[in-house]
Structures are given as structure tokens and as C-alpha cells.
Amino acid sequence: MKTIFANEQTVERKWHLVDATGLELGRLASQVAYILRGKHKPTFTPNADCGDHVIIINSDKVALTGKKLDQKIHRYHTQYMGGMKETVYRKFIAEKSDEAIYVAIKGMMPKNSLGRRMLKKVRIYKNGEHGHTAQKPEALELKL
């Protein structure tokens, strides 16, 4: 048997559609990161981008368990002196639910240029409408 090393020219990419209604944020993010990396394929190669495209709809309806809505804090820095900003997740998800899912997925991807390239294959929408019907995305049932 020969070991298969995938490269970006030989990889076949599919489009997956995920409905985030009622799903927990971290579990959704870990499954999507798994697909973006391509770990679900038998031809997975760690140093190549062999993952698929993922479309996430209804990001407003994502859930957090326990007291995370009031206790978990989203922090970012504006790169100015004293520019640390903090937002409670209840407000963060109410205003920017798509960014909350993106930040969760980003934290589970490799921290290098390959990870940044893989992150460009995720598209997140607040409502149930998306403009990618021409790509014929397949509905994806996550193992939660």
C-alpha cells in the first residue's frame, strides 16, 4: 500500500450546510473545525488544506449551556493604549452571533498561515438564507 499525500490540486471539496438552531456553541465549533481541516477524509494530510466548505445558517439560535451567557466574557484589544474591551456573551451573541461562532471555530484551528487559509472556507449567516445554492450544499448532521 502506498501512503497518500494530498495536495491542494488533488483534493475534492464539497459544500456542507449546517443549521445551528439549538446547537451548543463549542460542540458546533469543534465539528465544523474538524470538517474545515479535512480530518473526516481518508486522504487527510496535516500540512495541506484538504477540508471542505461549510455554510452555517441561523447563527442567532445557537445555545450556550449553564451560566455561560452571563459569566463568559469576550475580550479583544483595539491595539491602542488601554484598549482592552470586554463584552458579556449574552450581549455578544445578541448583537454579533455570527462573529461568536467564527471566534469559537478560529480557536480550534491551527495557529498558522494554513489555519488562516482554512478559515476562509466557512460562511456564517444569522438567518436561514444564504446565497450559495449554486454550490449545491449537502445538509450535514453533526454528531453531538
Structural domain includes residue 58: yes
Indicate whether 91 belongs to any domain: no
Q: Cα–Cα distance between 77 and 86 in angstroms, integer?
A: 9
Which of 38, 11, 15 has the alpha carbon at shortest distance from 109? Answer: 38
pTM for this structure? 0.93
In a domain, 85, yes or no: no
**Residue 105 structural domain:** 15-63+98-128
Low-confidence stretches of the chain (pLDDT < 50) are: none
Residue 87 lies in a domain: no
**Residue 92: per-residue pLDDT:** 97
Distance CA 22, CA 143 (A): 14
For 74, list phi and psi in degrees, rounded to 5: -90, 120
Q: What is the CATH number of the domain that holds 44?
A: 3.90.1180.10
Identify whether 73 is part of a domain.
no
Kindly report, residue by residue over 26-67, the tens digit of the pLDDT: 999 999 999 999 999 999 999 999 999 999 999 999 999 999
Total domain count, the chain: 1
Tell me how far apart the alpha carbons of residues 75 and 97 are, in angstroms, rounded to a whole number. Answer: 15
Note whether residue 140 is domain-resident.
Answer: no
